Structure 1
Amino acid sequence: MPGAAASGDLFVFYGLLKQGAAGAPAALDLAGAGDFGAPCRFRGRMVDLGGFPGVVAGDMLCHGVRWRVRDAGIVPAMDAFEDVTEDPATSLYLRVRVPLLDDAGAATGETAWIYWYNRSVDGHNPIADGNWPLDAGKTRK
């Protein structure tokens, strides 16, 4: 399992966990357990996995939104939604920290937890602008 997330930690959401995203998990009260903040950027390669995105290593400037944890008790449910397991070999996503960037790609000095896709993306279409549309999601669970 990834390290413990604590109250006050930042997350960057780029897909179904973004506020207002189609396919968002109704059982996760993200607005009640944290605060959505300003848009941000991070480096990676975003792909369409068929109704939800994944990000893997890459140099694309991807879009996300900051979310600050108030109640860290929600994090295990978020991990479960993203299929994070105790064994990295079986996790669909890994929860890792990344540096946040501004629109020009410069470091902001902030780091945030992110759900990083943990499978091959061969055969999946890249999201050319690195920005998952709010209306593109489909319920995963």
Structure 2
Amino acid sequence: MDAYTTHLFTYGTLMRGFDNPFAERLQNNSVYEGKGYFPGLLYLISWYPGAIYDADSVSKVHGEIYRLSTFEAVIPELDDYEDVFEDEQSSLYVRKTVSIIKESGETINCWVYLYNQPVTGLPLIEEGCFKHLH
């Protein structure tokens, strides 16, 4: 893992406009820096989405970029929220560093919670944007 990454990319219930204590905690401990995307696929898991990173995908996963005020202030809580466990195989999500393309065309390395379970039979969110469903 990249210990120097100070940004988080969100594509689901942590984005602005979602009413939950974890999204609120993120908002209070970071600075919103704009929108971005990465190549991959976005699935509807339940009431929340799950993204799979695929560097070769023509599909994109769209979301928001946040600069974390302090990593320690928010990431442990978000890891709990995203069911990230020490045993990666049993984790619902894994937190990885992904190169995000900003609206300006620049890239930035961000932490991203990627879905870590089988996606067989799950509906694909074809436009890659979870907010469009709400």
CA deviations 1:16-43 (Å, max 9, x no partner) are 000112xx53155112111112110111
Could you say which residue in structure 1 is the equivalent of 2:28?
A: 32
TM-score (norm 1): 0.81
Q: Kindly tell me: are residues 134 and 82 of structure 1, through their superposed partners in 2, closer, same or farther at Cα, counting changes over 3 Å? A: farther
Partners of 1:135 and 1:46 in 2: how far apart?
A: 12
Determine if the alignment matches structure 1 residue 14 to structure 2 residue 8.
no
Could you say which residue in structure 2 is the equivalent of 1:111?
A: 109
Partners of 2:53 and 2:10 in 1: how far apart?
A: 16
> Which runs of 5 or more residues in structure 1 are unaligned?
137-141
What does 1:66-81 align with in structure 2 at a 5 Å threshold? 66-72=65-71, 73-81=73-81
Aligned match of 1:126 in 105, 119, 124? 124
Residue 80 of structure 2: SS of its match in structure 1?
A: helix
One-letter code of the match for 1:56? I
Partners of 2:74 and 2:117 in 1: how far apart?
A: 25
CA deviations 1:77-115 (Å, max 9, x no partner) are 0000000011101111000011111459x6x23110000
Structure number with higher helix proportion: 2
What's the C-alpha RMSD, in Å, of the aligned pairs?
Answer: 2.1
> Which runs of 5 or more residues in structure 2 are unaligned?
none
Q: How many residues align?
A: 129
**Structure 1: which 4+ aligned runs deviate by more than 3 Å?**
none
Could you say which residue in structure 2 is the equivalent of 1:98?
A: 98
TM-score (norm 2): 0.85
Partners of 1:125 and 1:65 in 2: how far apart?
A: 22
